[in-house]
Amino acid sequence: MSRTTKLLTFSTALLAPWLLTSAVVDAQVDTDVFRPIAAVTIGNLEGVTGLPLNSFDISFVDPAIGLYVLGDRTNNAVDLVDTHDLTFLGFCGQGQFRGATGDNNTSGPDGVLIRDSREIWVGDGDSTVKVFDVAGCSETTTPKKIIPTGDAMTDKRADEMCYDPVDQLIMVANNAADPPFASLISTIFYQVVRKFPFPQSTNGAEQCQWNPVTGLFYITIPGIETPDNGHGQVVVINPGTLMVDARSPFDIPLAQCASPQGLAVGPGNDMLVGCNGNGSNTQSSVIIGAGVGQLLATIPNQSGPDEVWFNPGNLRYFLARSNAGSGFQALGIIDAGARVANTPPGIQTGAPINNPPSDLHPSAHSVAADSVTGKTFWPIPANPPVGGGPQGDTPFGLCSFAGGDDTKGCILVVTGFVPVGDATANASADLPAGDMAEASK
């Protein structure tokens, strides 16, 4: 099947009834031992050339159509990966974004999401959101809609976003503006209907979510005081009234959570708040109630995430812990039902990044999971290995360990279900921890 034909099938995949049931089947065979099983190299497609994955931002999975997307600044495109075949499908809209400008606040693409399995929405470094049709999107595709959220010079990038399918609204944060703000965009008219400034913020605005239980938007504010790594909030916005909810904001206690960034809606009325901390590996993230923001659980040793994700297929939260302290970056895993960190613990990066340029964001800070296949997708930046084997004498990183190339980077595929007889996957249970220099978000 050609790449274009395969992309066209995504628009009709919702008609397949097996897609609605296989999440339950896969969850039944899932285990608590999560391992890397594959490494997808970006650009390894006939007729497509991809540069080593150095600068990228947010990722997203649509399980109904089996599609993973990543905002790839290095290749100035949205990367497309098949979550079933674990293959790179190609680039979408290559050359249509700002790319890696040398300044994180003006680079793009940034935040991404897939709306109703039909459209890819992408934030860019010029304060616009660009919309592409999923079906047939390729390197040469241009946006069907370009939606400005502000002034490119003063408001900078349109970043992380989330979708309310009931009210047909997408929220997107301009985290580098002064003050930062969020916009609600109509998916019917493709224009901003309301902006919400956050004048209390001293450190931008981060991941947002729409909660189907409450019907409300939530967005993390990392800090409302100086220094930046202090007390933060979750602001609640009502899409029906286009107003800040009367219960908002939820103050997040500094003792349990320094600099809230990641946000994921979990089971029931739970929400995970991923807390960046101060670079300490021992600091925590927290689970709060979406009703009034009450603290439900503190999860120790899970600080440092940027993007976090909840997978209802295996009832796990995944945290891209790119600033976890002690030089480590890691994929954190939390049992959402028990509200405790997974045992065995998450996966640490297997090789250090040498003097990473912080403005290009070369950190493992992005994560998304497929509830149908049970697979988690964790982008790992290109990094020539300099050691990190079981005795410190075998140079490899996570990409090469899972069958990829460390010098090119990869989308590392992690799963808790390992097929019987899969020697590569079972061997990765012995994957050692390795240092990885902290990188700025």
Of 77-91, 243-257, 421-435, the one with minimum mean pLDDT is 421-435
What is the structure's pLDDT at 440? 27
280 vs 129 pLDDT, higher one: 129
What is the structure's pLDDT at 358? 40
Tell me if the pTM is above 0.95.
Answer: no
pLDDT band at 352 (very low <50, low <70, confident <90, very high): very low
For residue range 32-79, list pLDDT tens digits in order.
689 899 999 998 777 788 999 989 999 999 999 999 999 999 999 999
Closest Cα to residue 364, out of 346, 348, 380, 350?
380
pLDDT band at 273 (very low <50, low <70, confident <90, very high): very high
What is the structure's pLDDT at 230? 65
Q: Is 274 in contact with 305 (CB distance < 8 Å)?
A: yes
Distances from the Cα of 83 to the Cα of 55, 87, 377, angstroms: 22, 7, 9
Closest Cα to residue 385, out of 349, 413, 414?
349
Q: Which residue has the tokens 């909840």?
A: 310
Spatial separation of the C-alpha atoms in residues 206 and 323, rounded to whole Å: 15
For residue range 210-219, list pLDDT tens digits in order.
999 999 999 9
Q: What percentage of the chain's residues is helix, strand, coil (to nearest 5)? A: 10, 35, 55
Closest Cα to residue 30, out of 370, 423, 313?
313
Distance of alpha carbon 210 from the chain centroid: 15
For residue range 107-131, list pLDDT tens digits in order.
999 999 999 999 999 999 999 999 9
| Residue extents of the structural domains in the chain | 23-430
Of 1.20.120.1200, 2.130.10.10, 2.40.50.140, 3.30.450.40, which CATH number belongs to 23-430?
2.130.10.10
Highest mean pLDDT, choosing among 18-27, 77-86, 410-419: 77-86
Spatial separation of the C-alpha atoms in residues 294 and 302, rounded to whole Å: 19
